[in-house]
Amino acid sequence: MMNRILADRMQLLGTESAFEVLQRANKLQSQGMEVIHLEIGEPDFDTSPNVISSAVKAMNKGQTKYCPPAGLPQLRECIAKVSGEKRGLSFKPEEVVVTPGAKPILFFALQACVNPGDEVILPDPGFPIYESAVGFCGGIPKPVPIIEKDDNFTLDLDILERSISPKTKAVILNSPHNPTGGIIPEKDLQIIASLVRDKDILIISDEIYSDIYYEEKPVSIASFPGMKERTVIVDGFSKSYAMTGWRLGYGIMPQTLAEHFAKLAVNTHSCTPPFVQLAGLEALQNGQDSLQNMVREFKARRDILVEGLRKIPGFRCPTPRGAFYAFPNVDDTGYDSSALADKLLNEGGVATLEGSSFGAAGKGYLRLSYVNSQEYIYRAIEKIEKVILNNRKKQIM
Ligand SMILES: Cc1ncc(COP(=O)(O)O)c(C=O)c1O
C-alpha cells in the first residue's frame, strides 16, 4: 500500500551514512566489543554551562511561545555584527534568517531557487545532503571532484569551469570542507567568483566550519566584489559551540531572498524556539573562550591523528586545515576503502566512514572525525595499524 501512497519524489531523497555506521558500531559495542567512534560529525564537547543557563533562564521567563519566523531581532542583529566582523563584511539584520540548524538554510536555498531541470554544481566528495536536497527539488546535481593539491584538498577548477552551462542555477561550496578538512585557497575562490560573477548563478557557501581552522583563516567567497549579492552563507551553532542537538543555524543572504526564506519558515517550522535562540545569543556574546579552547584541542588531536596515520603502511594523509576530519587515502593498503572501513570496524573496533559515502570521487579514502579524546585517538591508530599488519601477515602466509 505504501508504494501507492508515497510521492515519487521520496525516492529522490538520500540520507547520511554516518547514522547507519553509528548504529552498527553501537550494536557491536552492546555485544561487548570496544569500539572507538571516529564516524560521527559532532564535537564531543559539552555545550558551555553559561549557554545552558541562559536557555533555562529564558524558559523560566516565558520564552516558550511562537516568535518571528526569521528569528528574534536581537539574535539577527548580533549574527549580522559577529558574522560581518568575521568575514570583513557588513550585514544588515534583515539579511539574516535563523533556522533550526543549518540544514534548513541549504534546503530553503534550493527550494527557493532551483526549478526542475536546473543544474547545481556541488563538491564530490561532499556533505551527502547537498545531492539529496538538489534532487528533491527536481534539480540535477553536477558533482565536481575535490582533489588533493599542495597538501590540501580543493575543487578541480578546470572541471568546475567545464561544468558551468546555461542551465547552471547554483554552485555549492563548502570550506572548511566535510569530509576532507580542506580549505579552498583564496586564489581558487577568486577564480570561482570570476566564473560566476556575470552569470545568473547563485553561490550557496556552506561555512558551518568557518570557526574551526588551524593555520590560515578561511575566506568567504561573499567577500569578493559583487559576490555578497549572489551568495547565501550557511552557518550555525552546531559545530562552533558544540550545540548539534539544540538545532540552531542561520543563513545570510540578500534581503529579498531572506523574505522568501521567512515564508518557507512559516510554511515548515513556524519559528526556531526562542529559548534556543537566546542560548545562541549567549554563545555568540560570551562563547569565544570555549570556542578557542575547543579549536586548540582539535588541533592537538589533528596532529596526533595525522602523524599516526602517516606511519601506517598504505595510508597517505594530507593535512586537514579545518573542521575536525582527516581524509586519508588508503589505496596502497590493497583494500577497497569500503571493505577496509568494514574491516576496521568489525576486526579493529574503529568506526570510520568510507569516502565514497560522500560521492564517487571519495572512493579510496576514509573519513575519520577526531571528535574523541587524545587517548582514544592514540588507541585508534594502534588498532588500525594492527588490522593492516595482521591482514598483511595473512596474505604472506
Ligand atoms: C558541511 C555541513 N553542512 C551543514 C551541516 C548541518 O549542520 P546542522 O547540524 O546545524 O544542521 C553539517 C553537519 O554535519 C555539515 O557537515
Q: Say if ligand 1 is within 6 A of residue 39 CB.
A: no
Cis? peptide before 125, omega within 30° of 0: yes
Query: Which atom in ligand 1 lies closest to the alpha carbon of residue 178?
Result: 1
Domain end: 287, 314, 346, which one? 287
Q: Say if ligand 1 is within 6 A of residue 102 CB.
A: yes
What's the 178 CA to ligand 1 centre distance in angstroms?
9
- Is residue 354 within a helix (H) or strand (E), and if so which, with residue range? strand 353-354
219 & 84 share domain:
yes
156 & 228 share domain:
yes
Query: Domain of 307: which CATH number?
Result: 3.90.1150.10
Cell numbers linked to 181: 578538512
Give the CA count within 13 Å in the CB-facing half-sphere of 143: 19
250 & 389 share domain:
no
At 353, is the secondary structure helix, strand, or coil?
strand
Atom 7 (ligand 1): residue with closest C-alpha? 102
171 & 38 share domain:
no
Q: How far apart are CA 232 and CA 103, in angstroms?
A: 13
Q: Say if ligand 1 is within 6 A of residue 40 CB.
A: no
Strands (DSSP E) found in 237-308: 249-252
261 & 352 share domain:
no
- Domain assignment of residue 33, yes or no: yes
Tell me how far the alpha carbon of residue 117 is from its chain's centroid: 26
What's the 355 CA to ligand 1 centre distance in angstroms?
17
Q: Say if ligand 1 is within 6 A of residue 178 CB.
A: yes
- Domain assignment of residue 352, yes or no: yes
- Domain assignment of residue 56, yes or no: no
What's the 109 CA to ligand 1 centre distance in angstroms?
15
Q: How far apart are CA 95 and CA 256, in angstroms?
A: 8
**CB 29 within 8 Å of CB 35:** yes
Candidates 172, 208, 211: which one to mutate for ligand 1, based on the most atoms within 8 Å of Cβ? 208
Count how many residues are written for the chain.
397
| DSSP letter assigned to residue 24 | H
Q: Say if ligand 1 is within 6 A of residue 99 CB.
A: no
- Digit-coded pLDDT (tens) for 81-112: 999 999 999 999 999 999 999 999 999 999 99
Cell numbers linked to 307: 602523524
What's the 107 CA to ligand 1 centre distance in angstroms?
12
Query: Which atom in ligand 1 lies closest to the alpha carbon of residue 126?
Result: 1
Atom 13 (ligand 1): residue with closest C-alpha? 41
Q: How far apart are CA 276 and CA 63, in angstroms?
A: 9
**CB 135 within 8 Å of CB 84:** no
226 & 296 share domain:
no
Query: Domain of 157: which CATH number?
Result: 3.40.640.10
Candidates 239, 272, 357, 369: which one to mutate for ligand 1, based on the most atoms within 8 Å of Cβ? 239
What's the 234 CA to ligand 1 centre distance in angstroms?
9
265 & 303 share domain:
no
What's the 395 CA to ligand 1 centre distance in angstroms?
40
Domain end: 257, 287, 317, which one? 287
- Domain assignment of residue 27, yes or no: yes
What's the 103 CA to ligand 1 centre distance in angstroms?
6
- Domain assignment of residue 21, yes or no: yes
| DSSP letter assigned to residue 230 | G
What's the 260 CA to ligand 1 centre distance in angstroms?
22
What's the 386 CA to ligand 1 centre distance in angstroms?
33
**CB 319 within 8 Å of CB 83:** no
79 & 209 share domain:
yes
Q: Say if ligand 1 is within 6 A of residue 18 CB.
A: no
Phi, psi of 71, rounded to the nearest 5 degrees: 120, 160
Average pLDDT of the residues of the chain: 96
169 & 67 share domain:
yes
Q: How far apart are CA 204 and CA 19, in angstroms?
A: 25
In one-letter notation, the amino acid at residue 396 is I
In one-letter notation, the amino acid at residue 126 is G
State the CB neighbour count (10 A cutoff) for residue 386. 14
> Over its length of 397 residues, how does the chain's per-residue pLDDT go in tens digits?
777 899 999 988 988 878 889 999 999 999 999 999 999 899 999 999 999 999 999 999 999 999 999 999 999 999 999 999 999 999 999 999 999 999 999 999 999 999 999 999 999 999 999 999 999 999 999 999 999 999 999 999 999 999 999 999 999 999 999 999 999 999 999 999 999 999 999 999 999 999 999 999 999 999 999 999 999 999 999 999 999 999 999 999 999 999 999 999 999 999 999 999 999 999 999 999 999 999 999 999 999 999 999 999 999 999 999 999 999 999 999 999 999 999 999 999 999 999 999 999 999 999 999 999 999 999 999 999 999 998 876 766 6
Q: Say if ligand 1 is within 6 A of residue 101 CB.
A: yes
- Domain assignment of residue 58, yes or no: no
Domain end: 243, 266, 287, which one? 287
Q: Is 88 left (phi over 0), alpha (psi -120 to 50) or beta?
A: left
**CB 57 within 8 Å of CB 371:** no
Query: Which atom in ligand 1 lies closest to the alpha carbon of residue 16?
Result: 14
**Torsion of Cα atoms, 279 then 285 then 286 then 292, to 10°:** 110
41 & 136 share domain:
no
For the chain, the domain total comes to 2
Query: Which atom in ligand 1 lies closest to the alpha carbon of residue 177?
Result: 1
Cα angle vertex 348, ends 343, 350, to 5°? 90
Give the sign of the dihedral formed by CA 313, CA 319, CA 324, CA 326: negative
Give the sign of the dihedral formed by CA 23, CA 27, CA 28, CA 29: positive
Separation in Å, CA 317 to CA 64, 189, 320, 335: 47, 24, 8, 16
Range of 308's domain? 2-47+289-396
21 & 71 share domain:
no
72 & 201 share domain:
yes
- Domain assignment of residue 55, yes or no: no
The CA-based diameter of the chain, rounded to the nearest angstrom, is 70
- Domain assignment of residue 53, yes or no: no
